[in-house]
Amino acid sequence: MAKIVLGLAASHTPLLALDAAQWQHRAAVDYANTGLNLSDGRRMNYAELLAELGPRSADVLTPEILAAKERHCSAALDRLAAELAAAAPDVVLIVGDDQRELFSSGNQPAIAIFHGEQVVMSNKLADRSNPEWLQTLARGYLMDDSHRLPGAPELALDLIHRLVDAEFDVAACAQVEGGGHSGFGHAYGFIVQRLFGGRPMALLPVLLNTYYAPNVPSAARCHDFGQALARAIAASPSAARVAIVASGGLSHFVVDEALDRGVLAALASGDHASLRSLPRGALNSGSSEILNWVTVAGALQHLRLRWHDYQPLYRTPAGTGVGAGFAAWGD
């Protein structure tokens, strides 16, 4: 049977693919964002956010502090890369979210699994006329070209069959169409580029619709799906050694440390009831990617969370940015 040998989780914010001096470019996006999400479900523009929260993070925006946070996150990612190298899995199953890179409003499944021979990356950021920081980001996300990565079609097909039998209506995807712009996006490319270390490992993408109403699954549904995914892997006749990775999160684009630390505490203590009961209001916009972590937590209940780390990456005085999280599960 197939066996889960490792679990990992990592944020995939652009801040992790750029140096701290370049974070200002993402701050500019926040200043212009009219839908900054609070964890009570409200959305507002930057001026409204600043009026409500005040300049709560102004004192941590110095070049020295930001550079230290960059180094801290880089070390955390290095640790995850080392964990993956040591486990040497045959297949890396990445639970991520698609942000109109592969799917569109014409077809947006709640849960999908890719079973093609090749995982083709989107090249929608491959514009040499873009500023250098954006080209750096494209390379960090493997979206600077139509990169082709090996898939895991046999195991993926087996999981689809078993999950459908377990009453999960999983969408099945076997190929990428669209001439380059369509393809797998940053949730997958960042993990491959930053954690694989150039090693050829088969990729099994699981795609959740965390961003786009009306068919975003609840935290409870994601957790149940993770449990069913683990059962399907254990029942598979494949001999594959599987690593499962949650890509994305934590809170953004308004950093909510209480939410992030609560999620990590629930993971560490095995409080799956709290993970299942996360309210929809707290899981909007970028914070919705916490659902990827909840899914993986459901799949890894048989493994121990042996390490986790957290850095709130503020980039504006009102506290926009990303709660960057990192975690590893093992025996």
pLDDT, residue 331, reads 87
Radius of gyration of the chain (CA): 19
Listed residue (103, 206, 219) closest to 159, CA to CA? 206
As given in the structure block, the two tokens for residue 72 are: 């801290």
Give alpha helix (H) positions in the chain: 24-32, 46-53, 63-87, 132-140, 153-165, 186-195, 219-235, 257-269, 272-276, 290-299
pLDDT tens per residue across span 212-268: 999 999 999 999 999 999 999 999 999 999 999 999 999 999 999 999 999 999 999
Determine how many CB atoms are found less than 10 A away from the CB of residue 239.
Answer: 10
Spell out the per-residue pLDDT of the chain, length 331, in tens.
899 999 999 999 999 999 999 999 999 999 999 999 999 999 999 999 999 999 999 999 999 999 999 999 999 999 999 999 999 999 999 999 999 999 999 999 999 999 999 999 999 999 889 999 999 999 999 999 989 999 999 999 999 999 999 999 999 999 998 666 789 999 999 999 999 999 989 999 999 999 999 999 999 999 999 999 999 999 999 999 999 999 999 999 999 999 999 999 999 999 999 999 999 999 999 999 999 999 999 999 999 999 999 999 999 999 999 999 999 999 8
We report the CATH number of the domain holding residue 106 as 3.40.830.10
User: Which residues constitute the domain of residue 248?
Assistant: 3-330
Total number of domains constituting the chain: 1
